[in-house]
Chain A
Amino acid sequence: MADGPLRGVRILDLTHVWAGPLGTRFLADLGAEVVKIEAPMGRGPRQFPVNETLGGWIDGGPDDEPWNRNAIFVKLQRNKRSVAIDLKTDAGRETFLRLVRVADVVIENFHSVTMSRLGLSYEVLAAENPSIIYVAMPGYGIEGPYSQRVAFGPAVEAMSGLSDVMGYGPDEPRNTAMALMDPVAAVSAAGGVVTALRRRKRTGKGAFVEMALHEAAVSFCGPWLIERQLGKPIERLANRHPKMEPHGVYPSAGADQWIAIACRDDDDWRALCSVVPGLDADADFATRRRDRSEIDAVISRWTSRREKRTAAGALQAADVPAGPVNTTPDMLSDPQTRERNFFVPLEPGPTSMPGNPIKMRGISSSDWTPCPNLGGDNAAVLKDWLDYSDEEIAELERSGVIVDRPPA
């Protein structure tokens, strides 16, 4: 586990897929003791069988424990512990409730009724521990006309309005196709947790925190939604910008290689003109907008003859905002990420994983632990948190209430 300002905060993490586990990873990176409560049936999104993966296998292959090596899952679980427990059994439910009594936070992103069906609603948990902070992340919220819909990030994104501004033109709406709203919800959920913890410290009160993926998505689009109410037109501008000119993604040397360049103001424009020949340094914003096509053609001629990082470096030397359109190997080799040790090698492998964007005294990736094996901390957590004896743990294992591998 990592050290950090959240040391001592105990979190029971029942989240799945992306938004929830990513949010709890941020909390674990800051020192919270996050215990994943996992279903014995396996791990990761149940929609994916344990022998299929979207992002490859840690250390080269599934080996004989694919549920512990699915890279997209492992990536999200560092610094956490794992207890695999069958909450549908009486003994499993009772054990979970005992954990709740000594926990600070319970977080889940099931459908709005799942925890109630398990007999583990907020009211039940609060009866066990009145100061518990319960964070629910239902897709569309617990109540409301859409609460029965099934929510996944890409579909929710469509409902946020984002495609009103994203796309190549008026008739070509685009979705990010990368579940953008999941990380939006993840950061929001982590913020909700610390807000509730601070409120509890002040008031002694627990809390029910509701964090709907849909609302996080719409909230993210707030500025455009207000623009519309102020009567401002909204356009799909492709890679253009309403207030920067030029602003675009330009081809660079090589197949499917690109560079992003933007001029925020006249100073940036003049700087660009000092690097890219053939441009009129005296052109004001209106002129640049009028002559956009010609200007983009001149810039493209210049960029297309240069390697993207070299071109970005030359432009940055003149203080022009520019950056290569990076792929993962580009990011891994970037001098900035290397200097700041952003990517962190974690076992097995070791495999480079994106690090923590928060740097502060008292936290360091040097004490990070990799994703735990399924149920890898069953005994340790039950002893540490609940003082269970070896015999009690053995009985739970014998009865299949706690496991360390999916059922055959």
Chain B
Amino acid sequence: MDRVLEIGGFAAGYCGRMFVQAGCEVVRVAAASLAPSEHGSTALDIYLHDGKRRIQTDDPKIIGELADRADVVVAETPAAEGLLDLGFDDWRAPVKAAITPFGRTGPKSNWSATPGTLLAMGGYTYLMGDSDRAPLTLPGHYAEFQSGGFAYLAANASRLAGEENVIDVGMFESVMALSQFTTVLWTCAGEIRSRHGNDFLYVSPSNLYRCADGWVYINITRDFWDALATAVERPELVIDPRFETNAGRMANREALHEILDEAFASLSTAEVLARATEYRFPCGELKTFDEVLQDPHLADRDFWQRVDGAHGRVASPRIGWRMDGSSPRPADVPEREQRHG
């Protein structure tokens, strides 16, 4: 198994977390000077760094010696020039991954960044929030975590091939690479994608609806329209000419939302979910974090990892994948096959 040296902030930390979960030995070099504005927290520390060994230093000589003995080095700095200060280019580890906000080259390689500015520049922020208000940023560390994921992918690909390599991951580019149809909507249709609150808009109806005791999000592509209309006991909607096509539902979305608002208001979330499962359309209940922690599905699937420490015992989520030599047994066959995104 690889010996991995991790240096820097949340992106490197996320990459290192993936290596830990894959069974590798990860040594984290932490120092305030390496990530001066990281704004960490105990929770982030538990989430990212459980299972790692840690060294507190910012001495380039010590870091260089550690890097020379590692199979993989993942180094994140607040700007490209920080890598040079660390001596990144001189390290002899066979695989070195640099994660910086804008990549190692280019006129903005030393620009300052935060998660919020990266999401803004990468095209995400403009799409989130209400059309008549300021766009909404996404809290948390999306740009960093996804960049850490890309670094993990590239480092493992190099190791698999037995190749030495130097990897350059820019968070700005990571965000742009993860655009949905935003870019082609412009390059192919000449439209700038816009924001519409909770309304996905381009697939209608896709929105958050208030039920008697909470909220549900439904996402109705073409194949699900008849099922939804049936489930909310409004079968006449299926033959309503305003709503026959996705384009029609988009054009008449206000009227449609009014109808669905009324339909959902008298139902509990449990009733809506039961109907969604029976009639087969995508629907999820809006959960708080406390509710997620109590989610019976996740408990049933043994999703949580227990982490003990000075903070006591907490449940930390697994990474996305799990790996076994055999597959679990699928549950009962549903009435219809469905795909998901």
Interface string of B81-108 (1 = CB under 8 A from A): 0000000000000000000001111111
Q: Is A230 part of the contact surface with B, judged by Cβ < 8 Å?
A: yes
Residues of A near B127 (CB, < 8 A) are 176-178
Interface string of A43-55 (1 = CB under 8 A from B): 0011111001011
Total residues of chain B contacting the partner, CB 8 A? 166
Q: Is A359 part of the contact surface with B, judged by Cβ < 8 Å?
A: yes
Partner of A357, one of B152, B177, B217: B177
Is the CB–CB distance between A358 and B154 below 8 Å? yes
Partner of A342, one of B173, B289, B297: B173
Is the CB–CB distance between A178 and B163 below 8 Å? no
**A217 to B178 Cα, complex, angstroms:** 15
Partner of A321, one of B114, B126, B168, B197: B114
**A173 to B286 Cα, complex, angstroms:** 9
Residues of B near A375 (CB, < 8 A) are none
Residues of A near B243 (CB, < 8 A) are none
Total residues of chain A contacting the partner, CB 8 A? 184
Is the CB–CB distance between A158 and B208 below 8 Å? yes
Partner of A187, one of B150, B161, B195: B150
Residues of A near B153 (CB, < 8 A) are 26, 30, 187, 190-191, 194, 358
Interface string of A183-205 (1 = CB under 8 A from B): 11111111110111111010001
Minimal Cβ-Cβ distance residue in A for B120: A260
Is the CB–CB distance between B184 and A222 below 8 Å? no
**A259 to B125 Cα, complex, angstroms:** 10
Q: Is B212 part of the contact surface with A, judged by Cβ < 8 Å?
A: no
Q: Is B156 part of the contact surface with A, judged by Cβ < 8 Å?
A: yes
Is the CB–CB distance between B192 and A328 below 8 Å? yes
**A330 to B172 Cα, complex, angstroms:** 13
Q: Which of B306-341 contact A (CB under 8 A)?
A: 311, 314-334, 337-341
Interface string of B41-53 (1 = CB under 8 A from A): 1111011100000
Q: Is A393 part of the contact surface with B, judged by Cβ < 8 Å?
A: no
Partner of A258, one of B126, B202, B331: B126
Q: Is B268 part of the contact surface with A, judged by Cβ < 8 Å?
A: no
Residues of B near A56 (CB, < 8 A) are 184-185, 187-191
Is the CB–CB distance between B217 and A144 below 8 Å? no
Q: Is A75 part of the contact surface with B, judged by Cβ < 8 Å?
A: yes
Q: Which of A333-388 contact B (CB under 8 A)?
A: 334-337, 339-340, 342-343, 349, 351-362
Interface string of A130-165 (1 = CB under 8 A from B): 000011111111111111111111111111110111
Interface contacts beyond A207-B325, A335-B107: sample of 15 additional A-B pairs, CB < 8 Å, sorted by A: A56-B190, A149-B282, A161-B291, A163-B208, A187-B178, A195-B18, A197-B160, A210-B322, A210-B328, A219-B318, A327-B193, A336-B107, A336-B109, A357-B147, A358-B151
The list of the 5 closest CB pairs from A to B, nearest first, reads A56-B189, A56-B188, A188-B320, A55-B181, A192-B321
- 18 interchain pairs (CB within 8 A)? A114-B337, A142-B327, A150-B282, A161-B291, A168-B129, A174-B136, A188-B321, A191-B153, A215-B317, A220-B142, A224-B140, A258-B125, A260-B121, A262-B117, A342-B173, A349-B187, A357-B150, A360-B168
